[in-house]
Amino acid sequence: MKYATTGIVTLLALAVLVAPALAVEPASGSVGAGAAPGDTDPSICVDQRVVGVMSREGGTINDCSYRTGQYAFEGETISYKVMVRDPNGAEDIGNLHIIVDGYNEVLCVAQAPEPTCDGLGEFNPATDKWFTCTYTVEQTDPSEAVEIQLRVYNALNNPTDSIYTENFVFNPALSLSVTPSSGSAIEFEDGVPGDCVHSTNKLLVRNIADGGVNMWMFVAGTDLTDPSGTSICPTTNELAVENMLFRATSGTMQSPWIQMSNYDQTTGCANACGGNYPPDVCYGGKPAAMPPPLGNVLANQGQMEIAFKLCYPVPCIGTFSQGTIYVFGMAI
């Protein structure tokens, strides 16, 4: 009897343990949840910057894309390859613009991605976009220094300006100061036919162009003539300019004695960077002081001195009082 009672109690206990899982639903409750990442400003990484000076075939300036100075002329371009990163995602990156002088905006165009951009590291398509930005200098651009920067807009059209900026002078005026070291013209020591005589003074040439423009320098001249028509040297009343030589000195550059050439307004300036010495010429003039593209550079505010030597042919008689020496500065 005792064992039977014990067995009943055990069965009842099992029933109590199993019954709640079969007959009673669990209690539950809920509250709302939400989160939002902050709207982070995008970062702008300039991977490459190029000043596109136009070739001689393109109509202006120089043919070797060589320039030392923050200036640019009409028709030239300033270009950037840029990566933009937005931690909120690439979809949050809107348009990128070049901003010139605080108001002139030029739209950049999307480009194929590059592997990396120095400063931001490897390209991530989830957060990054690449752009090419090009500004073409216009005739109406101001001649004083202006600031160039980049501005990106996000999907809500909120702008972020780049830390990267540059200052340029557009269309600076070119100017040279050309004066004799004494007197009002180049004069020569006394001599007779067959002699080579030196100038008693020199030309002082200073680059006073605006905007820090450096220039390639060239020298040319005209034949010396006798307005009375009575002089003869050796068979006409003209003393050919090829009988004259020049030697230019600028800093560490000093040319040998170079035969003068005739001024020719029809030739223009060509092959400033060609390195062929001669015939790199500007209006018929030869480079001074040494071969291009580096030897005949006159830095902004720099001075060059040019001395002359004249060799009289035989026969030669009279006074040749009218002639002109030209110095040309071609913008680099």
Residue 71: per-residue pLDDT: 93
Q: What is the CATH number of the domain that holds 145?
A: 2.60.40
pTM: 0.78
pLDDT the model gives residue 54:
63
Whether residues 73 and 201 fall in one domain: no
Residue 76 to residue 52: CA distance in whole angstroms: 6
Domain boundary among the residues 119, 138, 170 is at 170
Number of domains in the chain: 2
pLDDT tens-digit map of 272-295:
665 544 446 788 999 998 887 788
For residues 165 and 169, give the distance between their C-alpha atoms in angstroms, rounded to a whole number.
Answer: 14
pLDDT of res. 27: 82
Q: 212 with 156, same domain?
A: no
Query: Are 183 and 267 found together in one domain?
Result: yes
Residues 48 and 64 in one domain: yes
Question: Are 159 and 296 part of one and the same domain?
Answer: no
Mean pLDDT of all residues in 256-269: 90
Lowest mean pLDDT among 38-52, 113-127, 229-243, 300-314: 38-52
| pLDDT value at residue 279 | 46
Domain shared by 227 and 325, yes or no: yes
Position 305 in a domain:
yes
Mean pLDDT score, 189-197 = 96
Tell me: do 327 and 261 sit in the same domain.
yes
pLDDT exceeds 50 at position 326: yes
Q: Examine the fold and report which residue of 170, 195, 216 is the final residue of a domain before the chain moves on.
A: 170
Verify that 154 and 111 share a domain, yes or no. Answer: yes
pLDDT band, very low/low/confident/very high, at 59 (cuts 50, 70, 90): very low
| Domain around 294 | 176-331
Does residue 22 carry a pLDDT above 80? no
Query: What value does the mean pLDDT of the chain take?
Result: 85
At 246 the pLDDT is 98
Q: Which of 115, 147, 170 is the last residue of a domain?
A: 170
Using the predicted structure, report yes or no on whether residue 56 has a pLDDT greater than 60: no
Please state which of the ranges 35-44, 73-82, 185-194 shows the lowest mean pLDDT: 35-44
What is the predicted pLDDT for the residue at 272?
60
